[in-house]
Amino acid sequence: MKISPWILMAIGIVVIVGAIGSFIIWRVLQRAYWVPRPTDTFLVQTGAPLDTTSPTDLGDGEYTYTSANARPPDVYIIDGNNNSGDTVDALHARGAHVVCEVPFVQWTPSMFSASDPRWTPLEGAAAPGGGRWLDISPKDPNFHSLIELMSLQFENCAQAPVDGVVSDTVDVLGHGTGVGGRALTQTDFQTYMTALVSIAHSVGMGIGQGDGMSQAPTLASHFDFAVVHNCFSAGDCGLTAPYATAHKAIFEIETAAAPARFCPPAAAGGRSAGRYNAALNGRLRVPCA
């Protein structure tokens, strides 16, 4: 039976429209996670649980380093293991977004599922703060367990539900040891980090790089934002440039330098910055904006 060319044309149009629609849906699903804006203000309190009844913890009624009224925080960066879902709900009710800080490259006693025995064969040398560096090598036979455990940690944050997750550090190269006692490679590092990006995005969260900014050229195209500690004091804020170039948010935390010294260069470099005490426990915050 001969099929009319008009019917063939109609079928072709339906197929093309369907393909375009599927592509649009796929793109929407691929972006179904929050990404902070470079202009967002932030408050970090990872050294103590955040008290939503405390104006100080919430950053209300504060002044910038120029004595102007500070903008309310758009983003709260809190510890993922010592704050409740009620805290997250209260912050969302203020119209803010919440980022959960969790370990990416260390096992720590306070992390989610820390007692799971699957961590043990992944633990390496002692790390600062009583933790242990993790073997993140994809060649390790326990790598699948590491991915499962990190997925549980991220899902715990997502169920709060927070909007993003950030590492306390990514600086594992030179510390962690891979399978057979060999040093971890840059390829090991990149494979693991991109796997974490996929996990975070799959559960609807943005993901941030915490410190280790020498890796920014590698990670900035995958991660959604950056959090950096004391880059002005260390003189290495320029390492955040890949995030600034990509128009991604950079949250700069300074615990030593005077705000009048680091706020102007932070603004010029596309970073949202503030002065905190070293404990990051909510006792001090002087935002730049």
CATH of the domain at 102: 3.20.20.70
Q: Kindly state the average pLDDT of the residues 198-211.
A: 97
Residue 152 sits in the same domain as residue 188:
yes
Q: Which pLDDT belongs to residue 13?
A: 37
Residue 20 sits in the same domain as residue 44:
no
Per-residue pLDDT for 12 more than 60? no
Per-residue pLDDT for 232 more than 90? yes
State the residue range of the domain holding 8. Answer: 1-30
Residue 172 sits in the same domain as residue 140:
yes
Residue 24 sits in the same domain as residue 92:
no
Residue 21 sits in the same domain as residue 47:
no
Residue 96 sits in the same domain as residue 23:
no
> Count of domains in the chain?
2
Q: What is the pLDDT of residues 118-161, one digit of tens each?
A: 999 999 889 888 899 999 999 999 999 999 999 999 999 999 99
Residue 25 — pLDDT band, cuts 50, 70, 90? very low
Q: Kindly state the average pLDDT of the residues 241-245.
A: 97
Residue 58 sits in the same domain as residue 179:
yes
Residue 251 sits in the same domain as residue 149:
yes
Residue 100 sits in the same domain as residue 162:
yes
Per-residue pLDDT for 211 more than 50? yes
Q: What is the pLDDT of residues 56-107, one digit of tens each?
A: 999 999 999 999 999 999 999 999 888 999 999 999 999 999 999 999 999 9
Residue 217 sits in the same domain as residue 272:
yes
Q: Which pLDDT belongs to residue 141?
A: 93
Task: DSSP for the chain, please give it.
Answer: -PPPHHHHHHHHHHHHHHHHHHHHHHHHHHT-S----TT--EEEE-SS---TT-HHHHTTT-B-TTSSBPPPPSEEEEESSS--HHHHHHHHHTT-EEEEEE-SSEE-TTSTTTT-GGGGGGEEEEETTTEEEE---TTSTTHHHHHHHHHHHHHHHHTTT-SEEEES----TTT-B-GGGPBP-HHHHHHHHHHHHHHHHHTT-EEEEES-GGGHHHHTTT-SEEEEESHHHHT-GGGGHHHHHTT-EEEEEESSS-HHHHHHHHHHTT-EEEEE-TT-SSS-EEE--
Q: Which pLDDT belongs to residue 184?
A: 86
This prediction has a pTM of: 0.86
Residue 128 sits in the same domain as residue 180:
yes
Residue 18 sits in the same domain as residue 149:
no
Q: Kindly state the average pLDDT of the residues 260-289.
A: 97
